[in-house]
Amino acid sequence: MGISYKRRRAIKMKRFYFIIILLGFICLFVFCKEGITEPKPYGPLPSENQLEWHNMEYYAFIHFNMNTFTNMEWGNGSEKPTQFNPTELDVKQWAKTIREAGMKGVIITAKHHDGFCLWPSKYTEHSIKNSPWKGGKGDILEDLSEACKEHGLKMGLYLSPWDRNHAEYGKPEYVTYFHNQLRELLTNYGDIFEVWFDGANGGSGYYGGANETRKIDNKTYYQWDKAIDIVRELQPNAVIFGDGGPGVRWVGNEEGWANETNWSLLRQKEVYPGYQKYKELRSGHEDGTHWVPAECDVSIRPGWYYHPSEDVQVKTLSHLVDIYYQSIGRNASLLLNLPVDNRGLIHEKDAEQLMALKQQIEKDFKHNLATDSKVTATNVRGGSSKFEANNVIDGNDQTYWTTNDAITTASITFEFEDPTEVNRILLQEYIPLGQRIYGFNIEAEVAGNWTIIDSQTTIGTKRILRFDTVETTRIRVNITNSKAEPIISNIEFYLAPNLLTEPIIKRDKNGMVTMEVTDKNIDIYYTKDGSSPSSGSKKYNSPFIVNEPTTLNAIAHNPDDNEQTETKTIYFDINKKDWKVLKVSSGKLDDTYKIIDDDPKTTWASEKNNAPNEIVIDLGNEYSLQGFTYMPVQGRWPYGIVSSYEFSISTNNKVWKTTAIGEFGNIKNNPIEQIIKFKTSKARYIKLRSIKIIDNDNRLSVGEIGVITKT
Ligand code: FUL
């Protein structure tokens, strides 16, 4: 029996379809092979090490060394190893905190300019082996290297070329020592991701007791070629940081920002440690010959090292958020310094701010709205799906959207099903093929009209733009200038919540009170009767006068989610409109308005004076006084802070009565406003006399003087 007609027909049809599909595949293959080429690399390219480093993005700097115990920023090299004595050193606490903060690595000051080594170097006695810590048997780098492994962090090392301790600094012998130490460091502590060479070089120092100034030639003295070879030999995966790289460059400031235009390119042979035109490093060089991306180093406090007096100066959340957007969001990495304290721990205030930053960034980048959109482009290379627009939202950093050869302007459009609110855009070029784009703008379609929201220059490895919330159905990125066809691997959109930070409250000499928050979408509510404010209290709209003693309570409130800050309380006494400084025992009288301008940031200081200094103030009217306040200088380098005082009052500027005499406890370490109360007395004139100034400085400085009146 033969097979039925039906069956034969089915087999024939199957064959037919099979041939059609096969032909389809062959056509596609031929088309792909002939029509579509990969885009060619353009300009200097990143090395494998640099690509790995770009992924680090956010990591910690630890400044912990001799300066931590001498309360210095730059020790001169004459310190004794016995001074290095942490009582609770716990590198695991560092690693855990850093990891929890979302950072990927840590770079530690193995040796700073004072020459003290955190490891028991066999080339010097100036190290922890002669310190009391662990009876001289410890090795901080070894412990840190283990803690990093445990917490999944990469480790980097800071080694200062300048060594103010070493007797032979300035001679060839020191360079051999420097290279030997580099070998020692790169051999004994596992994988190192970055070697940090500081640009600060040469000058005065202890130098083994010589106590003199030694100048060196930054370009030649350290034999950089040899030092670089040592790194390449012992840590082939590490990048080398320096003013001009060669792996990673300094960003030209210590404030944590890159310029908006920021090339990962540099005319590298022109730049050397201590480069005079260092401000160029904020943008790199558009015509750079090498790939040398920028790293933003900044401390979470004013100083790099721990100083107890800076416990009140940890950077605010809004400042840290700005740093994040102005470094990582501007094609640079962020190296945020944590000054480990003299116990040997990351201070709890620093840890708290790190976590606040982490949480805020998580909130800002919670849901990528681009993935909900339909993406199209004006040009797709070869019309191929390999280079299609959709690649920018596929979450794969190896795929990208690009255009045909010689097409250097193009647009990519994102269409949302419903009107969508957006206030952040994140863009990434596919940098393995070079940095190309130097002109782009963002347009949003609002009620049928296209409006430009922002115009910018470079993108690089990551660019993030913040703009006012826009509700849109379509948003497009127009590439307006590119050195070669643009290649973009990723584009994301977000709706970041309002930034909720405590209100900053100020009053001027005339009694005018202003309140401020960073985000203009946040509201401020306050009370003047001592009660707790809420969103039902009086809303702050414009400055107002406070003449009488008043306790102001204020909150910042986010109308979008009804969240609010804790209450900020500030007490204002009588305003200082009629106040006048009548007399100072030395120093400029002209400047004395700074003592009574209700602005603690402005400082007045006397001249150096061996006798106690005095300030006499006329309050303009008679009041019942029951105390006074002294706010010490608030700047980075405190001086002239009164530690013992005498305070007197008078009704006629002739007969004086001393109402308080004493000490401002712990004012050096904690330079906050001092409030001293005394028995209520009538007075129109007040006199502050300094009996003792901290560090035996014989100047008297004042951030602000105030009174407490009886109401
Ligand atoms: C500078 C140094 O002089 C500072 O002390 C600090 O280490 C900073 C990171 O680099 O050049």
Which tens digits make up the pLDDT trace of 48-106?
999 999 999 999 999 999 999 999 999 999 999 999 999 999 999 999 999 999 999 99
Measure 439 CA to ligand 1 centroid, in angstroms.
34
- Report the C-alpha gap between 392 and 39 in whole angstroms: 16
Sheet strands (E) in 222-368: 239-242, 248-250, 265-266, 290-291, 294-299, 332-338
SS3 8: helix
Point out the least confidently predicted range of 60-64, 261-265, 609-613.
609-613
- Report the C-alpha gap between 199 and 273 in whole angstroms: 5
pLDDT the model gives residue 274: 84
Condensed to tens digits (0 to 9), the pLDDT of residues 376-389 reads 999 999 999 999 99
- Report the C-alpha gap between 275 and 554 in whole angstroms: 48
SS3 184: helix
Residues 6+ apart with CB under 8 A from 563: 500, 557
- Report the C-alpha gap between 59 and 101 in whole angstroms: 9
Q: Is the backbone of residue 587 left (phi > 0), alpha (psi -120 to 50) or beta?
A: left
Condensed to tens digits (0 to 9), the pLDDT of residues 318-347 reads 999 999 999 999 999 999 999 999 999 999
Measure 108 CA to ligand 1 centroid, in angstroms.
12
Residue recorded with tokens 């956010």: 58
Q: Say if ligand 1 is within 6 A of residue 304 CB.
A: yes
Q: Is the pLDDT of residue 615 over 90?
A: yes
Measure 200 CA to ligand 1 centroid, in angstroms.
7
Give the nearest ligand 1 atom to 63 CA: 7
Query: Cα(first)–Cα(last) distance of the chain, in Å?
Result: 119
Using alpha carbons, select from 68, 94, 67 the residue that is nearest to residue 78.
Answer: 67
Across 135-145, average pLDDT: 98
Number of H helices, E strands in the chain: 9, 34
Condensed to tens digits (0 to 9), the pLDDT of residues 636-695 reads 788 999 999 999 999 999 999 999 999 998 898 888 899 999 999 999 999 999 999 998
Rounded CA Rg of the chain: 32
Confidence label for 586 from pLDDT (cuts 50, 70 and 90): confident
pLDDT the model gives residue 1: 37
- Report the C-alpha gap between 616 and 619 in whole angstroms: 10
Point out the least confidently predicted range of 15-19, 67-71, 220-224, 589-593.
15-19
Amino acid at 35: G
Burial of 315 (0-12, 13-18, 19+ CB in 10 A): buried
Measure 299 CA to ligand 1 centroid, in angstroms.
10
Measure 412 CA to ligand 1 centroid, in angstroms.
43
Mean pLDDT of the chain: 94
SS3 64: coil
Across 520-543, average pLDDT: 96
pLDDT the model gives residue 323: 98
Give the nearest ligand 1 atom to 73 CA: 5
Residues 6+ apart with CB under 8 A from 594: 602, 603, 604, 702
Point out the least confidently predicted range of 31-35, 67-71, 427-431, 516-520.
31-35
Domains of the chain by range and CATH?
48-363 (3.20.20.80), 369-494 (2.60.120.260), 504-572 (2.60.40), 580-709 (2.60.120.260)
The answer to pTM > 0.95 is no
More confident: 135 or 588: 135
Confidence label for 36 from pLDDT (cuts 50, 70 and 90): confident
Give the nearest ligand 1 atom to 109 CA: 7
Measure 146 CA to ligand 1 centroid, in angstroms.
26
Q: Say if ligand 1 is within 6 A of residue 297 CB.
A: yes
Q: Say if ligand 1 is within 6 A of residue 200 CB.
A: yes
In this structure, which residue's CA is closest to atom 3 in ligand 1?
200
Q: Say if ligand 1 is within 6 A of residue 75 CB.
A: no
pLDDT the model gives residue 201: 80
pLDDT the model gives residue 8: 62
Residue recorded with tokens 């203009």: 520
Give the nearest ligand 1 atom to 299 CA: 9
